[in-house]
Amino acid sequence: MKKKKGWLSLLLSAVFLLSACSQGNNESANSTAGAGSEGTSPSAGSDNKAGSGLAPAKLKIVLYGDESNRMKALGKSEFHDVIKKEINAEVEFQFLPWTEYGGGKTDLMLSTGEDFATYTDSNYMVKSVAKGLYTDLTPYVDAAPDLSKNVDEASFSAFQLDGKQYAIPVGNKPNSAEFYSVLVRQDLLEEANMTKVTSLAELEQFYDKVHAIHPELIGYASTDARRMLQYDYTDKNLYWQNDFIALDESAKDDQIISWFESEEFKSYAKLMHGWYEKGIIPKYAATNVPQLQSDWNSGKAMFWAGTAARPFEGAATISQAVPEAKLVNYFLGSGRPKISRGTYSSAFFVSAAAKDPERYVMFFNLLQKNQELYDLFAYGIEGTDFSLDDKGRLTKITTDPLIPDWLLMNKNFIRFDNTVPDDFIAGYKVWDDGAIISKGAGFNFDNTPVKNEETKLNGVFTEYLAPIGSGFSDYESAYPKALERLKSAGIDKYIAEYQKQFSEWYAKQQ
């Protein structure tokens, strides 16, 4: 499985996982213009008898969010026909609310033995594999040869445990430095007679100037800035494994950092409390964090944490409320390599009760197989759902979402529309240049020995540590009690177990 290179392309619409996850890139390995004409299915670019030697199969793919009317229609027509032709399978697409992801009904479906597949993250994977709920897909990876060419090897490693593949990564996009840049409303910056933001001092100056012009706007549309601000509070190149564990990517060793017990956390928390006191983080954030996202989407915030794709993703949403909005990424420092976890968007697991795991892997392969199939699943039917100009730029005719853009996003295939500036495309193409893969990429912690401690620690995080880290509580007055609770919850045992497992894994990688 080797990473394939080509020209980068970008996400076409704002997506749900702008906060979690994060999102975006892709490139066109095929110059083929697009899907078939109106009312016809696109050519799969392969033998029309590809699925004829396979016994019929029924698959269930769970997706999260709202199912559009167009998605329902295509699922019964063109999607159905192409999947049937390619792998002789019938796929039922079932949509669940996002509240059911990583638990809820998803867990219920797994525990009651339903036959289905959906996406996962590494933490959810580890917990589910420990319960025997995921199929080991190692024997079936070869059933996704096209996907393996279009998704890099590091992304596959991220979903392995003890050398076994428990989920198949999908997507291939610039993921380095997610949330390490500050995504600035460039239109507001220029209104304030500034041209760029390259330091914390300039960012705060930007806030002051814009606040004087537009007091109705908020500053930062989030409560987590530990990545974007690290140029000011540490000389280390920090990367977080989870809320409690960080790595110093500039150190060539296996030492983990207990984030909440570090001097870096102390310095960071004081910066955030200053932002909260100053009003850069609005006071209502302490009780209504979701409102921050709403304010950003409606153009009522000055800046946010950035990713490679967010200047385009964010503008796609904000421009509906503020047509003149323009977004640009800036780093508040330099000299540290960007860190990447891999280029995947997400990864699909197959439930342990699945009758035909290999056929599921064949379906995953279709999502990243070629330009024609990518266009179909992401954009629909050319002439009905979208059109292409002579440069391959896309215009959507129907706006109903299909299989989520962020999930499929592959730089080999994604298409830009005409609103994406050329300078953004140029920057997007080289975003990952010089990036390094995190030394913890591919490590998955088995929490079984400290499961009780982890549960208690999560409670302490929510009640005591998150308010300090978000700036709502003053570090000096609130931290002593938080540390006491952290210790009583078992942070020392948790850190020791994490260090033990990470050191053993790290030694095998050398």
Distance CA(290)–CA(344), nearest Å, equals: 26
The pLDDT value recorded for residue 229 is 97
CA atoms within 13 A on the CB side of 363: 29
Instruction: List average pLDDT for each run of 10 residues in the chain, which is 510 residues long.
Output: 34 34 33 33 44 89 95 97 97 95 94 96 89 97 95 90 93 92 97 97 98 98 96 96 96 97 98 97 94 93 93 79 92 94 91 98 97 96 94 90 90 85 81 91 89 95 97 97 98 98 92
Report the DSSP pairing between strands 26-27 and 301-306. Answer: unpaired
DSSP state of 432: T
Residue 493 and residue 411: Cα distance in Å, rounded? 42
Element at 79 (helix H, strand E):
helix 78-87
**DSSP assignment letter at 478:** H
pLDDT value of position 412: 85
Q: How long a stretch of residues is the chain?
A: 510
Q: How far apart are CA 10 and CA 378, in angstroms?
A: 12
User: What confidence score (pLDDT) does residue 319 get?
Assistant: 84
Q: What is the dihedral of CA 236, 242, 245, 251, to 10 degrees?
A: -40
What is the model's pLDDT at position 244?
97
Q: Which pLDDT score, from 0 to 100, does residue 422 have?
A: 78
> Do the Cβ atoms of 354 and 117 come closer than 8 Å?
yes
Give the contacts of 64 (CB within 8 A, at least 6 positions apart).
Answer: 16, 95, 96, 97, 98, 100, 101, 118
pLDDT at 336: 94
H helices then E strands: how many in the chain? 20, 20
Report the distance separating Cα 429 and Cα 421, nearest Å: 13
Domains of the chain (ranges, CATH numbers): 20-35+43-173+343-420 (3.40.190.10), 241-280+445-510 (no CATH)
- What integer pLDDT is reported at residue 31 of this predicted model? 31
The dihedral through the CA atoms of 71, 73, 75, 78 has a sign that is negative
